[in-house]
């Protein structure tokens, strides 16, 4: 099934074999615990609203992506606070790129070049990749 990322009316098709590696690691519940002065356990529980991490990852042997698509992703990731529609397995989600807090962005990671080109063309399969999003 197609995986797409949409900005306004522009649809970018992502490799169909990207894996959502953290799909079942997110909890819809937030919980905090602490001890009172009497030693009793105090538990605060509330539903989470947004912020689900979505990591789509490929490998060296699959999820190859063309250079032109990678250039589009980098241009989109450079737009602060821009929201996108990610469609995966027929479900549309509103997402933003997860840049993380480090100097180097966490949003788009090239896994491995498919072929080491010194002067790649836009339609050359350039690399496998990892994309990191936060669901709004």
Question: Using one digit for the tens of pLDDT, what is the confidence trace for 56-98?
Answer: 998 777 888 888 898 999 999 999 889 999 999 999 999 999 9
As separate numbers, helices (DSSP H) first and strands (DSSP E) second, the chain gives: 1, 11
State the chain's mean pLDDT as an integer: 90
Is-contact 73 108, C-beta < 8 A?
Answer: yes
Tokens of 23: 């799909």
pLDDT > 70 in the chain, percent: 95
Q: Where are the domains of the chain?
A: 3-135
Report the alpha-carbon distance of residue 129 to residue 21 in Å, rounded: 13
Please name the residues in contact with 112: beta carbons below 8 A apart, sequence gap of 6 or more.
Answer: 60, 127, 128
- DSSP β-ladder status, 10-14 and 91-97: unpaired
Burial (CB < 10 A; 0-12, 13-18, 19+), residue 111, is middle
**Euclidean distance between CA atoms 14 and 48, whole angstroms:** 28
pLDDT of 112 above 70: no
What tokens does 19 get? 């894996």
Burial pattern 34-43, b for ≥16 Cβ within 10 A else e, equals eeeeeeeeee
pTM: 0.84
State yes or no: pLDDT of 111 exceeds 70.
no
- Residue 127 CA to residue 52 CA, distance in Å, equals 26
């Amino acid at each position: 099934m197609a995986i797409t990322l949409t900005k306004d009316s522009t649809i970018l098709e992502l490799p169909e074999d990207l894996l959502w590696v953290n799909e079942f690691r997110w909890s819809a519940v937030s919980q905090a615990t602490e001890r009172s002065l009497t030693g009793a356990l105090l538990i605060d529980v509330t539903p989470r609203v947004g912020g689900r991490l979505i990591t789509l990852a490929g490998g060296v042997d699959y999820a190859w992506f063309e250079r032109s698509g990678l250039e589009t992703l980098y241009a989109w990731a450079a737009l602060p606070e821009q929201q996108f529609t990610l469609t995966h397995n027929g479900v549309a989600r509103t997402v933003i790129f997860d840049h993380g807090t480090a100097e180097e962005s966490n949003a788009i990671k090239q896994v491995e070049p498919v072929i080491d080109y010194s002067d790649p063309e836009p339609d050359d399969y350039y690399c496998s990749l990892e994309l990191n999003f936060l669901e709004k």
